[in-house]
Structure 1
Amino acid sequence: TPGYACFWGTTEHTTTHFAVAHTMARVFVYGTLKKGQPNYKHMINTAKGLAKFQGRGRTVEKYPLVIAGKYNIPYMLNIPGTGHHVAGEIYSVDEQMLQFLDEFEGCPDMYQRTLMRIQVPRAAADGVLECFVYSTATYPPEWVGLPYHDSYDSSGKHGLSYVLRESRE
């Protein structure tokens, strides 16, 4: 899909094993992959790659964060300027973890991995980092009418507990 970054390739800059092995990408997670949430176990599973916690942040632009579908999955709808500044966590991940996350997030069909600006409290420079975020532009139109959240917790007051993949029918 044009404009989405769910692909891997080699360039003249990544031909050495040393460069590839040490290339890290920043990923902003806002849902079930955060600490204390149902899928955090994947972020600390080194068999899937490396993910190093870098800190907390919020999207610079507002986005709708909804909990949708029969499994109560959190989705950030790719509608900049609508919703809230979404809170989450920033991780540095290696290529193996990024590939795992692409598969886990159903990229590019369910979610699309795009670069977004994330506001980081007390950070160097202007406090804004560019991070990959899994949001979606491929959602049913009625999701726009769901309640918008500024942060996600599977056991939050919304009462919509996430259904783990292994528990789904």
Structure 2
Amino acid sequence: MARVFVYGTLKKGQPNYSRLFESRNGKAEFLASAFTTQKYPLVIAGKFNIPFLLNLPGQGHRVHGEIYKVDDQMLKFLDDFESVPTMYQRTMVELEVKEWMGKTDGEEKPSPGSIAEAFMYSTTTYQSEWPTLPSYESYDSYGDHGLNYVTREARD
């Protein structure tokens, strides 16, 4: 089992959240709400309004998201879904726990403010103007930015 930090369309209430719980993709269990210990630019870009976390540590905001425990099948699905390694890369990141809700498998439950590690999908391949786009600390496809995510089904 691996931990994965999601900050975009896979979060609760977002357009791709259900993909985490489609049994053919594998298993996922919500563990915690958290945010990155380092700042990163989280931008909405491209003609489909995709949230991209640019791998530019120290710029942008501490990004808010959710930690999930996933099995190998779900991790492979997420790698494919995030187009690893062409669009995104999966790297380990440190996160500050806001609230831990999941089981701990006999370990002590992490307290708010404690540090956890998880895989995160970020990109080093982006258009030159993306770092100048507005940066967000929390993504919401339906936010007042007016840049609603275009689902894969709607792109055809």
TM-score where L is the length of structure 2:
0.91
Q: Which stretches in structure 2 are left out of the alignment for 5+ residues?
A: 100-109
Structure 1 runs, 4 residues or longer, greater than 2 Å off: 121-126
| Structure number having the greater strand percentage | 2
Residue aligning to 1:77: 54
Higher CA-based Rg: 1
Shift of 1:121: 2.4
Q: 1:118 aligns with which of 95, 101, 109?
A: 95
Change (3 A) 1:86 1:125: closer
Match of 1:165 among 144, 148, 152: 152
Structure 2 residue aligned with 1:51 = 28
Read off the aligned partner of 1:150 and give its amino acid letter: E
- The CA distance in 1 between the partners of 2:111 and 2:46, in whole Å, is 39
What residue in structure 2 maps to residue 91 of structure 1? 68
SS of residue in 1 equivalent to 2:40? coil
Residue 53 and residue 44 in structure 1: after superposition, are their counterparts in 2 closer, same or farther (change >3 A)? same
Unmatched 5+ stretches in structure 1: 1-23
For residue 151 of structure 2, what is the amino acid of its counterpart?
L
RMSD across aligned positions (CA): 1.2
Q: Which residue of 1 aligns with 2:19?
A: 42
Q: Within 1, Cα distance between the matches of 2:77 and 2:18?
A: 13
CA deviations 1:74-106 (Å, max 9, x no partner) are 000000000000000000000000000000000
Whole-angstrom CA distance in 2 between matches of 1:115 and 1:104: 18
- 3-state secondary structure, aligned to 1:113: strand
Relative to the length of structure 1, the TM-score reads 0.84
Tell whether the 8 Å contact from 2:141 to 2:149 is kept in structure 1 after alignment.
Answer: yes
Q: Are 1:132 and 2:119 an aligned pair?
A: yes
Percent identity at matched positions? 58
Give the Cα–Cα distance (whole angstroms) in 1 for the partners of residues 27 and 57 of structure 2.
30
